[in-house]
Amino acid sequence: MPRSFRLNQRTGSLVMVDNTPQGIYNLKVRVSDGVCPDVISTVQIHVKEVENEAIQNSATVRLSG
């Protein structure tokens, strides 16, 4: 796990820390519930600098399922 990200292993929540450099990050994620076989997936995260106005007019979206 790159130092720019923190993963809560209990909830699966992935958080980017402050001052993460711009770039593309590829994270391999493994999920296990101890019953079914593990599932492995790759997550690609694009980090870009945005202006304050864009942040003030932004919305949060959470995907599930």
Instruction: Determine the pLDDT at residue 24.
Output: 93
Q: Full-prediction pTM beyond 0.85?
A: no
Per-residue pLDDT of the chain (65 residues; tens, 9 = 90+): 568 999 888 888 889 998 899 999 998 888 888 899 999 988 888 998 888 888 888 887 877 76
Buried b / exposed e along 6-42 (16+ C-beta atoms within 10 A): eeeeeeeeeeeeeeeeeeeeeeeeeeeeeeeeeeeee
